[in-house]
Amino acid sequence: MERNLKVSLLLCCFIVCMSTGFGQTEAQKLLIESSRYHDPNGLWEKSKVEIKLNEVRPGYPDRKTELMINNKTGRFVMHQIREGHEISFDIKGDKCKIKFDGSTPHDTVAIKKFNLTPNRARVIRDYYTYLYGLPMRLLRDGSIPDEQVTTSRFNGSSALTVRVTYPPNLGSDIWYFYFNPQSKQLVGYRFYHDEEKNDGEYIILENEVSIGRLILPQDRSWYTNNGDELLGSDRIILED
């Protein structure tokens, strides 16, 4: 009985420590706070999210994109109007369906021009689910945040900053994530392939919208770290 009592007490202490954040680093606490800001009900991992985008790329026609992300079932669907054509990717597990103007693509010219391959479809899925899953995904998926939070300037304002890396099998880029010091809202991020060369890009997040009960940035703009060249921008379009 005494041994069981000791085990119970230890278990209670463990639960209390976990609930009060004992043992968490500064960065982990900030990421938790920011995730609670953007996803207060913890829905990202267990609900279906639908997003409509207008995507602008300098020198190219605007793209209209619709996304359906369901992390609970592992399904991702993208419908996109691109240069007058409708492209769709539907991925669940190892299955990938690709449509071009409503049919399975057979035209080798179109397949090459629009990169209509399963590998490309999975890259697109990973791209959108990562970006629109921030900052929630920084609490999982192998992210390795530095322990300390620093303060730096981003987009003309002071920001709390967390440096994040990943295991070699997930990528070698170095990321920096920037948060509003008061609200803990994610306001942007930056990545480098080689930090000493100042390559890579930074992304500014502006405005915010409610998608379901998620709070997401409405406007997202990409710039080069070297030269501040605008690479593109996305805007979430709300239903009328």
The whole-number pLDDT of residue 110 equals 92
92-105 confidence digits (pLDDT tens): 988 999 999 999 99
> What is the tally of structural domains in the chain?
2
Domain contains 14: no
- Among 88, 105, 132, the domain-final residue is 132
What's the domain range around 128?
Answer: 45-132
Distance CA 17, CA 36 (A): 19
Domain contains 9: no
Distance CA 89, CA 49 (A): 16
CB 218 within 8 A of CB 210: no
Distance CA 203, CA 198 (A): 15
- Cα torsion 136, 189, 66, 59 to 10°: value is -170
Mean per-residue pLDDT, 61-83: 95
171-205 confidence digits (pLDDT tens): 899 999 999 999 999 999 999 999 999 999 999 99
Domain contains 62: yes
Residue 5: pLDDT band by 50, 70, 90 thresholds?
very low
Are 92 and 198 part of one and the same domain? no
Are 64 and 108 part of one and the same domain? yes
Domain contains 55: yes
Q: What is the pTM of this model?
A: 0.86
Domain contains 69: yes
